[in-house]
Amino acid sequence: MKTPSLLFAVVLLANSIVAAPKPLAQSLPGGAFAFVEIDGLGRKVQQFKDSGFLAAVLESPQYQAFTKTDEYKRAIGVAKLSETYLGTDLWTAAAKFLGGQLALALYPSDNPAQPDALAVLRTPNVDAMRELRSKILDPILLLAGDGAREEMLNGVKVIDLDGNAFLALGPDWMAASNRRPLMQATVRALVNGKGPTLAASTAFKKMRAKMGEGHFLAAGIDLPAGAKQYNQPLKTPDKLDDGGASLFFHGIIAMAPDSPYLGLTMDIDEKGFSIESAIDGNPREMDEKFGWFFSDPATPGTHDIPAVKGLLGGLTIHRNLGGWYRLREQLLEERLQGGFDEFESGLGNLFPGRDVGDDIMPAFGPTVTFLAAEQNFDHFVGEPGIKLPGFALIFDLEKPMAGKLFQLVFQTIVTITNLTGAEEGLNREPSVMTAIVHNGVPINTIEFLQSPKEKRLDISYNFVPCATTVKGRFVFCTSLALCKALVDEIRKPSKPRRENRNFNLELYPDAVKGLVRANRSTLVARSVQTGKLIEDARQEIDLIQRLMGHVQLIRFNTSVQEDGYKVRLRGRWQ
């Protein structure tokens, strides 16, 4: 009895596979230097309509105030007129007409400023396309009058609009282009599957191999072809004119010109979103000049951001600072070199008798981490009027003995801070250096001579500096509780192997909501000082908190691959 049911299921599965439309890139003519393809836009519109995020916006006082403006009334009037004409609401119309696939491609032309263009829309079914034509396209063609001439090509109606534009109307698709040969090739590919297609190009195949298929949005640029179209040769500048750009982006800038493509994908659903971009290249071939930039693709790259309680966000980056500093004359323009002399002079005050290039910069290991986390003020009678999170700077030590060097700097900074506070009359109790031991790890910190008694303390009391060295990493914090938590986290065994991260930034908006709540009265007061009414200021803070509550995590990271480089932006809904 089970065999017929199994057979029926197999037939249904086979039918669904056959019926699934292939990507439009397999039907677009080859030769494009740029394209974008979207699959299921209508479904995403429907998901947004049903999302809690949109509901929070619509319920907000700001939106309710907007509904009383003339701009809103005009927009609603246009929307209602459109819905009356379409016979349905705009949300449903979007799901019906845009629920299939949409593609746009650009092709080389004789005019660098105006490439040839091709757009293709495939609806979910024939009925949707028939309705789209009757309600939207046919009235437009009627207005065109004698300027619209019809012809048949491979059984498909093609409309010539005075030789300036061409439309092709298939059973469940339509295409538009400004060039007749491009339209003819498109019809042949869509109807018969004939001719070279975009999906067969080398750049496209390499991009798909790296970035995969089945994305909501996929886009790509054939970099050599695009550079030729716009007469902009791809070339890595010999030296950069910005030190920050060199430190953060130089490796990517150097790799990109040799990549055959620049790829981009986007996905979004009820759980979150993901945006990825990639280029092709071999980072190991760039070691001589850019080995300081790239981590080994076979390793995790940076450390994970320590998962301390109340983590608001953080970033961690792989950079061999000593290598970058040593090669600065090869990497940066000559006019910037004078600034390094000033840098060395200033740093020499903190590291007397040490050479910056030979002793200090090489002391830094390959990973630097910065993070912020919630802190409490239970160690005081009162609390600061403006409550800031605890901050931490963590960096690898190239040699364990370097930890003593940075501890000396920590002590110098604390001493200078005390003297400066006394000279400038800051409302802060004097402090002395002290040390504690937490789980066997010594921590240098400060102790106030007298515990402050005020209920509302100066903002400077957010900072209780402390420093330690643990597992080959130097930790500098503005909160003793955070420093203890970091000691415990760093001592934990490393997590299982994961994909490489050369740079990683994480934000936890839902956790930041607590910081906004703790400083609500101060934030409202600041807004009132700018001229806002107190009720408007409160409502603005409330909206920010509600929107933050819908996002659990935002992560931006880069990844070194054996055959290229990836950049990702991901988010997770609450």
% of the chain surpassing 90 pLDDT: 39
Angle at 528 between CA 523 and CA 532, to 5 degrees: 120
Average pLDDT over residues 534-543: 81
* Nearest in space to 512 (alpha carbons), one of 466, 550, 480, 458: 550
Phi, psi dihedrals of residue 165, rounded to the nearest 5°: -150, 155
Q: What is the pLDDT of residues 49-61, one digit of tens each?
A: 888 878 888 888 7
* Nearest in space to 317 (alpha carbons), one of 306, 302, 295: 302
pLDDT confidence bin for 558, thresholds 50/70/90: very high
Is pLDDT at 543 greater than 60 in this prediction? yes
Average pLDDT over residues 78-92: 86
Average pLDDT over residues 506-523: 83
**pTM of the predicted structure, to 2 decimals:** 0.84
pLDDT confidence bin for 331, thresholds 50/70/90: very high
**Residues near 245 by beta carbon (within 8 Å), at least 6 away in sequence:** 253
Q: Which helix (H) or strand (E) holds 27?
A: none
pLDDT at 4: 41
Question: Within 10 Å of residue 199's Cβ, how many Cβ atoms?
Answer: 17
pLDDT at 13: 37
47 by Cβ neighbours in 10 Å (0-12 / 13-18 / 19+) ranks as middle
Phi, psi dihedrals of residue 231, rounded to the nearest 5°: 55, 45
pLDDT confidence bin for 482, thresholds 50/70/90: very high
Is pLDDT at 181 greater than 60 in this prediction? yes
Q: Which helix (H) or strand (E) holds 565?
A: strand 564-573
Of the given ranges (322-326, 389-393, 531-535), which has the lowest mean pLDDT?
A: 531-535
Residue with the two structure tokens 């450390």: 303
User: Regarding beta strands 383-384 and 456-457, do their DSSP bridges make them parallel or antiparallel, or are they unpaired?
Assistant: parallel
Give the three-class secondary structure for 387: coil
pLDDT at 396: 93
Is pLDDT at 313 greater than 90 in this prediction? yes
Angle between helix axes 534-548 and 520-529 (nearest 10 degrees) is 130
The CA–CA distances, whole Å, from 118 to 29, 33, 202, 266, 333 equal 9, 12, 20, 21, 43
Is pLDDT at 1 greater than 70 in this prediction? no
- Pick the residue with more confidence: 262 or 191? 262
pLDDT confidence bin for 20, thresholds 50/70/90: low
pLDDT confidence bin for 306, thresholds 50/70/90: very high
Is pLDDT at 12 greater than 70 in this prediction? no
Average pLDDT over residues 399-427: 75
pLDDT at 21: 64
- Pick the residue with more confidence: 15 or 99? 99
% of the chain surpassing 70 pLDDT: 94
Is pLDDT at 498 greater than 90 in this prediction? no
pLDDT at 93: 85
Is pLDDT at 440 greater than 50 in this prediction? yes
Is pLDDT at 484 greater than 90 in this prediction? yes
Is pLDDT at 8 greater than 70 in this prediction? no
Separation between Cα atoms, residue 23 and residue 17, nearest integer Å: 13
Phi, psi dihedrals of residue 496, rounded to the nearest 5°: -55, 160
pLDDT at 460: 82
pLDDT confidence bin for 63, thresholds 50/70/90: confident
Annotate 313-357 with DSSP letters as a single string: EEEEEE--HHHHHHTHHHHB-GGGHHHHHHHHHHHHTTSTT--II
- Pick the residue with more confidence: 373 or 551? 373
pLDDT at 6: 37
Is pLDDT at 9 greater than 80 in this prediction? no
pLDDT at 426: 62
Mean pLDDT of the chain: 86
pLDDT confidence bin for 421, thresholds 50/70/90: low
pLDDT at 343: 84
pLDDT confidence bin for 425, thresholds 50/70/90: low
pLDDT confidence bin for 316, thresholds 50/70/90: very high
Average pLDDT over residues 248-256: 93
Q: Which of 6-10, 35-39, 44-48 has the highest mean pLDDT?
A: 35-39
Structure tokens at 467: 């420093």
Separation between Cα atoms, residue 320 and residue 365, nearest integer Å: 7
Q: What is the pLDDT of residues 90-146, one digit of tens each?
A: 888 888 888 889 999 999 998 888 999 999 999 888 988 888 888 877 777 777 676
* Nearest in space to 370 (alpha carbons), one of 246, 244, 480, 504: 504
